[in-house]
Structure 1
């Protein structure tokens, strides 16, 4: 972990950021996040469809 300090409107704000050595690791995390988002959306749509069928 690495501490990064940023300034917002003159106020000092500390942020903790994880440093990735490997660009492939970052891409894998982005891809995994996208897949999880798509899976959740698909589950929502399937749930909505089953509700409509039951009406």
Structure 2
């Protein structure tokens, strides 16, 4: 089974650059404390890297 990433938004998107806000939206995150499960692949790793200061990531 492929590994997955558990991504939780821990900081507000307000004050972030528009590209970072769009990335949070692409990940499916809308509010602080919301968690989503994503497949661990290059695309999602890139998204997480872009907003690494706004999210907490765990491998599951």
Which of these two proteins has the greater Rg computed from alpha carbons? 1
Q: TM-score, normalised by structure 2?
A: 0.26
Indicate the structure with greater helix content: 1
TM-score, normalised with respect to structure 1: 0.27
